[in-house]
Structure 1
């Protein structure tokens, strides 16, 4: 029996979504649970599963179209089934075509450099902006591909995923691929500063959502902050021993230790692993740790579910998978929903100490700095030791300074005696 697939609601405050790309073509077989389409929301580009099995009979909206939630977007039927679409849809009106605006614009010089090719169709001649899908931008940033050198095959000349992949596989990649950044450093932004020329960049859905959410948090939540320095000498030594002989992709990171330590410490402090509504404080039965991931156009939080029940290797593997899916634009809704506590770690950038804004409705967030060798005094003697600073930002409506301080003290048991983590 034919079934209508609707634009799903992928968040409590989602009102509409942009169908970035169909992952199944018309006439193609599909099983329940298979990925049907890439949907862009205010938070991320997510892959949406099919709720039915059969054959994709009809796409009701084109790619790169923004439609309200609950609007029909596709019809799935059994193979060979004859379907009267008008009767099936009944009173459900098809969503009006609404082309999605480029979510992030990237400037290029108004005139091409001598010897360069003509501007591609993906470049707006009036604005000087490059039109590209979020997925294409994520892949281009990861592979250091210059989007300005590509021709877009999407609607209106928009650069899509297949254009970037084709450039990487063909000889044109030699012109499109930029020089790689130094190991451990983030890829450079596509936008380049042009002397004497202002650049206007449209605010992406993600950046707009971050700004609104953080402004509300900063204005409405009574924050307080606690900073503590942790002796992580034993942790760094254990990490070194654990990583000996491992491939690069299987190494345990400092952040993996932090996630596990936080998860175990939260067991003893239900008010820190909590959220607040208008009428009550909810102490969560599960410990789901959100890990902030930096993307080109903003910050996403991916969620390690039941982190207190996972060992260091499991946490490292899952965090790596989630982070890669975020960069590739292949996240699922469950990857970013349900966190009960959040960690923001900028240690890999050499940041010693910072404060983060609470991610509502959670009670707290931990800002983690870099582990560094510094001069320390022990038993009256000056020596070198490993130290790492972390700052807890907490909601004073849910917890208070003394309780939060005990939590930070309890966290030291795991960070300074890391054998407790295994």
Structure 2
């Protein structure tokens, strides 16, 4: 006899089915309980509401027995009702999710569940980059109000370096699909921007073709309109990679979650002075730690390491990006 979608095999009963009320099944699903491990107290051993509530109240999370048939389904977290019961009434304020927070939650869950992540980390010396940035900004002409026409940030240079690194390692400039690998010709780099209630990732298209000034001006405009929630869908959808920089918050290093359909994302930490060995002698250098999260379906370890090494080369020799 065919089983319905919510019936599972279990040891015991005449035909291996679990007998439970519809309400008990719903509560068990919301609470992450495996009905096959519960003993019913209803007529003929039927699992009823109080059996599930008793298991949830005890904090138990029964797992399937070895003889249970495998059930393939998405993991279910605690229900809203169960979470609320963990806190005293009046000890919290409920802030309903807006559409942005719901979208972020949905995409991040999708990314973690469907993308096999691994992370590669390296340290980059950025003293040469800081000197070049200072010289580059000092050459900016003044506008009518006396302000410089551009001001390039370290992050703008990182975006350029990531774009060029993908051009040098084109096999990593890809998107995985179930039937084929999409190998991109341009480096469209998303940049995570924090806005009230969440974040958005506007994209610098063809970033490999743009100089520091162009990237700085474009990113400033994108970030402003992102905070005003005035971006058009084509300005934040797609892209081939992304950069997430928390260095300005003093974060030393972290690993970011890949934003589909990207195969990589670069997490950037704060630059800080550290003592390093050079020619056998200790010297002080400004070091920035970066972590590349990679979709292992699309980019293998050696390929990811090659991409990160190229990025490091460009960051440590930034004059090469002016050519």
Name the TM-score, length of structure 1 as normaliser: 0.52
Match of 2:25 in 1: none
Match of 2:12 in 1: none
Tell me, in whole angstroms, the C-alpha distance in 1 between the residues paired with 2:232 and 2:113: 30
* Residue 208 of structure 2 is aligned to residue 314 of structure 1: no
Residue 209 (structure 1) aligned with residue 109 (structure 2): no
Matching of residue 243 in structure 1 with residue 137 in structure 2: yes
Shift of 1:268: 2.1
Q: CA deviation at 1:273?
A: 1.3
Which residues in structure 2 correspond to 1:44-193 (within 5 Å)? none
The equivalent residue for 2:249 is: 349
Residues 359-370 of structure 1 aligned to structure 2 (within 5 Å): 359-370=259-270
Question: Of the two, which has the highest radius of gyration?
Answer: 2
Task: Show CA shifts across 1:335-392 (max 9, x none).
Answer: 1123111111111111110000111121111101111222222122222111111100
Report if the CA contact (8 A) 1:271-1:363 is conserved: no
CA distance in 2, matches of 1:240, 1:293: 24
TM-score when normalising by structure 2? 0.68
What is the aligned partner in structure 2 of residue 295 from structure 1? 195
Match of 1:256 in 2: 156
Residue 200 of structure 1 pairs with residue 94 of structure 2: yes
Q: Is the 8 A contact 1:356 1:367 kept in 2?
A: yes
Aligned residue for 1:213, secondary structure, equals helix
| Counterpart-to-counterpart distance in 2, 1:235 and 1:379 | 21
In the TM superposition, residue 245 of structure 1 has moved relative to its aligned partner by: 6.5
Quick check: 2:239–2:261 contact (8 Å CA) kept in 1? no
Aligned residue for 1:198, secondary structure, equals coil
* Superposed CA RMSD: 1.4
Question: Paired residue for 1:393?
Answer: 293
Higher-RCO chain (CA-CA 8 Å, sequence separation at least 6):
2
2:305 maps to 1:405: yes
Q: Which deviates the most, 224-233 or 262-271? A: 262-271
Partner of residue 315, structure 2:
415
Q: Which has the higher helix share?
A: 2
- Residue pairs, 1:263-342, within 5 angstroms: 263-342=163-242
Task: Give the drift of 1:401.
Answer: 0.7
CA–CA distance in structure 2, aligned partners of residues 249 and 402 of structure 1: 41
- List gaps (5 residues or longer) in structure 2: 1-89, 141-146
Q: Which runs of 4+ in 1 moved over 3 A?
A: 245-249
In structure 2, C-alpha distance between the alignment counterparts of 1:403 and 1:231, rounded to whole Å: 22
In structure 1, the gaps of 5 or more residues are 1-195
Task: Quote the offset at 1:270 in angstroms.
Answer: 2.2
Q: How many Å separate the matches in 2 of 1:245 and 1:415?
A: 20
Deviation at 1:299, TM superposition (A): 1.1
Which residue in the other structure is 1:227 paired with? 121
Q: Measured at CA, do residues 392 and 251 of structure 1 come closer, stay the same or move farther in structure 2, by a change above 3 Å?
A: same
- How far apart in 1 are the matches of 2:149 and 2:268? 22
SS in 2 for 1:361: coil
* CA offset digits 1:386-407 (Å, max 9, x no partner): 1111100001111111111111
Change (3 A) 1:294 1:248: farther
1:271 CA drift (Å): 2.8
TM-aligned CA deviation for residue 197 of structure 1:
4.7
Are 1:377 and 2:271 matched, yes or no?
Answer: no
